[in-house]
Amino acid sequence: MSQEPLLRLDNVSKVFLTDEVETHALSGVQLEILPGDFVSIAGPSGCGKSTLLSILGLLDSPSDGEYRLKGEPVQNLRQNMRAQIRNREIGFIFQSFNLIGDLNVFENVELPLTYRGLSGAERKQRVNAALERVGMSHRARHLPSQLSGGQQQRVAVARAVAGQPALLLADEPTGNLDSANGEAVMRLLKELHAQGATICMVTHDPRFARHADRTIHLFDGRVVSEAELAAAQAAQA
């Protein structure tokens, strides 16, 4: 029996209107991600990668088409319902870490859990387990300013996985890191994937895209094959 997709996009498009100018960020995107997949979204700057990730993370809505998460259509939900689903089902890892400077490591990881109504004991257990997974338990009482960039990204990963989300979305997770720390974060994502995490990662770096099981290539808002992407980039050069 075939496995049901965790998420599915059918003919999804996104159009931005500014000063009566239409910008087609996405055009007719078809995409399925199964539970346990590790997918990278690659392509040149401006091709629609971040727009696609925003739609997958329910931070934005498509202009047309359907988005199903766990079999349920979610593209037209009200903001409060979208926020609830994001908090429970989706973990975000950002390029810029997005840690709160006056909260320590433990508090940063705990913060999203406070909106779920979990008991203090359960929050503590989840935070400690998440920090252990990323090797940052010994820094639990440190502030972000006391950490290196690689350590801050590990804390950001811990924050994302503490909620036990169905889907991890990583937006250029190595973009603000040197190559050594970037590789370390990619090894961490690979370890999480090996433990069963479903990951969708945007990256412009082919070295890191190769860590994924499958790469979706975008060009001018459309999903293209690797050969089509190479030809389009050569034509632009």
**158, part of any domain:** yes
Range of the domain at 64: 7-236
**pLDDT confidence bin for 237, thresholds 50/70/90:** low
- 73 in a structural domain: yes
As a whole number of angstroms, the distance between CA 88 and CA 81 comes to: 11
Q: Cβ neighbours of residue 10 under 8 Å, at least 6 residues apart?
A: 30, 65, 66, 67, 68
Domain membership flag for residue 111: yes
Domain-embedded: residue 208? yes
pTM, two decimal places: 0.89
Q: 153 is written with which tokens?
A: 């990204």
What pLDDT, on a 0 to 100 scale, did the predictor assign at position 1? Answer: 43
Task: Indicate whether 2 belongs to any domain.
Answer: no
Both tokens of 125, joined, read 């257990």
CATH number at residue 202: 3.40.50.300
Distance CA 137, CA 21 (A): 50
Q: What is the per-residue pLDDT across 183-224, written as a single tens digit (0 to 9) for each?
A: 999 999 999 999 999 999 998 888 888 889 999 999 999 999
**CA atoms of 64 and 26, how far apart (whole Å):** 10
Q: Across the strands, what pairs with 10? A: 66
Coil vs helix vs strand at 219: strand
Mean pLDDT of 17-45: 91
Q: What is the percentage of the chain residues whose pLDDT exceeds 70?
A: 96
What is the token pair recorded at 79? Answer: 């903001």
The pLDDT tens digits of the residues spanning 223-233 come to: 998 767 667 66
Q: Give residues with Cβ within 8 angstroms of 59, minimum separation 6.
A: 86
The total of structural domains in the chain comes to 1
* Residue type for position 65: G
Q: What angle, 0 to 180 degrees and rounded to 10, lies between the N-to-C axes of helices 120-133 and 149-162? A: 130
Q: What is the pLDDT of residues 127-160, one digit of tens each?
A: 999 999 999 999 999 999 999 999 999 999 999 9
Q: How confident is the model at residue 55 (pLDDT cuts 50, 70, 90)?
A: very high
Q: Tell me, what DSSP letter sits at residue 5?
A: P
Q: Average pLDDT of the chain?
A: 91
